[in-house]
């Protein structure tokens, strides 16, 4: 009778310990996942700020009567594509993240061409509103980079927690999947070609 009671107590202690471990793992994974999702929201917020600034920039540039319409149209179309490509933080797959990144890269390229063309328009370069928007855009680009780095840090913490053994077993049971990271744009490892033509 005593041996049966001792065995039962030991079994209850083991089961309770495993339960506590599983609850602790789950709660920590939920917290890390929420932090990563919040970081993703901050990335989207930074991109939204950029999109809003670009809208104001386009309106300012449109005021230049002889400004190259094709370049402006490219920016408007790239902005429309970038704002229509969104990713739900609850369904952050590598494919959806790549599509989002591709749309943002397209807008970055169109905006870069716009800034090069602006160099030919002294009245725009002297426009205080344009200069202020340009400065805010530069600051926003820095903010975007910071937010992407923070997102990757939060995803890294979450992924380590859910993929290390034995937590990986529990992650599968509780439905925690590895989250994708924000990656550098294709070709960004190559230095850009710079042409200093002052003529």
Residues 127-159 pLDDT 10s: 888 889 889 999 999 999 999 999 999 999 999
Residue among 94, 83, 88 at smallest CA distance from 37: 88
CATH of domain 11-174: 1.20.1440.20
Asked whether 97 and 87 are in contact (CB, 8 A), the reply is yes
* pLDDT, average across residues 32-50: 94
Residue among 190, 180, 186, 174 at smallest CA distance from 24: 174
User: Crossing angle of helices 167-174/128-163, nearest 10°?
Assistant: 110
Name the one residue in this structure whose structure tokens are 């009778």.
1
Domain segments of the chain as ranges = 11-174
- pLDDT tier at 45 (50, 70, 90 boundaries)? very high
Predicted pLDDT of residue 64: 67
Average pLDDT in the chain: 85
């Amino acid at each position: 009778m005593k041996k049966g009671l001792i065995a039962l107590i030991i079994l209850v202690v083991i089961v309770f310990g495993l339960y506590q471990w599983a609850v602790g793992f789950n709660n920590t994974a939920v917290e890390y996942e929420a932090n990563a999702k919040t970081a993703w929201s901050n990335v989207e917020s930074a991109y939204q700020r950029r999109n809003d600034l670009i809208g104001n920039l386009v309106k300012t540039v449109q005021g230049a009567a002889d400004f190259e319409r094709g370049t402006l149209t490219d920016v408007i179309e790239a902005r429309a594509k970038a704002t229509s490509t969104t990713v739900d933080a609850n369904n952050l797959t590598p494919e959806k993240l790549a599509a989002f990144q591709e749309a943002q890269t397209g807008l970055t390229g169109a905006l870069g061409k716009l800034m090069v063309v602006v160099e030919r328009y002294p009245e725009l370069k002297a426009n205080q509103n344009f200069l202020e928007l340009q400065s805010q855009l530069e600051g926003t680009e820095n903010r975007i980079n910071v937010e992407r780095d923070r997102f990757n840090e939060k995803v890294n913490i979450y992924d380590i927690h859910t993929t290390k053994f034995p937590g990986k077993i529990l992650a599968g049971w509780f439905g925690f999947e590895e989250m994708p990271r924000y990656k550098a744009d294709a070709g960004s490892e190559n230095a850009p070609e710079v042409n200093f033509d002052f003529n």
